[in-house]
Amino acid sequence: MIDPFHLEAYGKTTVNYNRDVEIFPVLNAMFEKIIGESPYKSPTDMGVNMAGNCIIDDEAVSEASKKEIIRRYYVGLCENRKGQVSDDEVCKLELLMKQAGIKAKDRKVVAPALEREAETGAPAAAMELPDGTIITGKTSNLLGAASALLLNALKHFGGLDNSVLLMSPQVIEPIQNLKVQHLGNVNPRLHTDETLLALSICAATDENAKKAMEQIEKLRGCEVHSTVILSAVDERIFKRLGVNLTCEPKYQ
């Protein structure tokens, strides 16, 4: 409906939600009661249409938006693979990407992760750091690719050589034994949460592990791509670390 408050205040005709228009006098009264006056003259002043006025760098916002579209595309592919969303949802995302003039390969961490997988013949992962540096991680007998990637990134942030062992096999193997022999796990490799816990234990006696632990906050905002769908545990850890994760829509 026509926003009568906006028309009266500015002499301009705008359209807004009827419920917003109807409740605006109540909201106005609340503002006046709390702070003495209302900062808004109409419901339109409060709408999401005003968000654009907060953009001070359109190029940066556009680039961030394109990256988010690609991330959501990969999320859609994985959810489709899990049977959680229909093919139509993926088609909508593909159409959105086409309209934005972007492709999945524009995500910088995708190619390095796939190349690492091709080299090793096993799942791999790649991370883009804030300065553009790409770090990769591969699957080993002790660690999954996501766990190896985390350790490699922490080494990089801490200025540690890639050859440095942050956790000895003597620390990892008892955890693997517990997982397989007592907890019924088939995969003995450490997940990201187990890796970080083991690293924190090693940090009590090892200076390199301690230095690596001190770098964890620097992971926030990094981009990660896995060549396989990760476990719910790994996804949750990356989210808590503030890492933007995407996965190829396939299982190990």
Over residues 6-22, the pLDDT tens digits come to: 999 999 999 999 999 99
Question: pLDDT (tens digit, 9 = 90+) per residue, 88-105?
Answer: 999 999 999 999 999 999
Q: How far apart are alpha carbons 200 and 196 in whole angstroms? A: 6
pLDDT at residue 208, rounded to an integer: 96
Which among 226, 251, 250 has a CA at the least distance from the CA of 238?
A: 226
Q: How far apart are alpha carbons 123 and 228 in whole angstroms? A: 6
Q: How far apart are alpha carbons 24 and 14 in whole angstroms? A: 15
In what helix (H) or strand (E) does residue 49 lie, and over which residues does it extend? none
Amino acid at 68: E
pLDDT-derived band at 49, boundaries 50, 70, 90:
confident
**What class is the 108-247 domain?**
alpha beta
pLDDT at residue 230, rounded to an integer: 97
pLDDT at residue 50, rounded to an integer: 81
Q: What average pLDDT does the segment 228-236 reach?
A: 96
Question: pLDDT (tens digit, 9 = 90+) per residue, 102-143?
Answer: 999 999 999 999 999 999 999 999 999 999 999 999 999 889
pLDDT at residue 186, rounded to an integer: 86
pLDDT at residue 48, rounded to an integer: 78
pLDDT exceeds 90 at position 235: yes
Mean residue pLDDT across the chain: 94
Q: What average pLDDT does the segment 211-229 reach?
A: 97
Which has the higher per-residue pLDDT, 199 or 52?
199
Q: How far apart are alpha carbons 126 and 156 in whole angstroms? A: 13
Sign of CA dihedral 64, 69, 70, 72: positive
Residue whose entry in the numeric block shows the structure tokens 């970080």: 196
Phi, psi of 189 (to 5 degrees): -65, 145
Cross-sheet strand order for the sheet of 244-247: 134-138, 124-128, 223-226, 244-247
Q: Which of 36-45, 198-207, 218-227 has the highest mean pLDDT?
A: 218-227
pLDDT-derived band at 31, boundaries 50, 70, 90:
very high
Q: What is the pTM of this model?
A: 0.82
Token reading at 89 = 């949802």
Sign of CA dihedral 83, 234, 144, 220: positive
pLDDT exceeds 90 at position 170: no
CA 200 to chain centroid, in Å, comes to: 23
Token reading at 171 = 């620390």
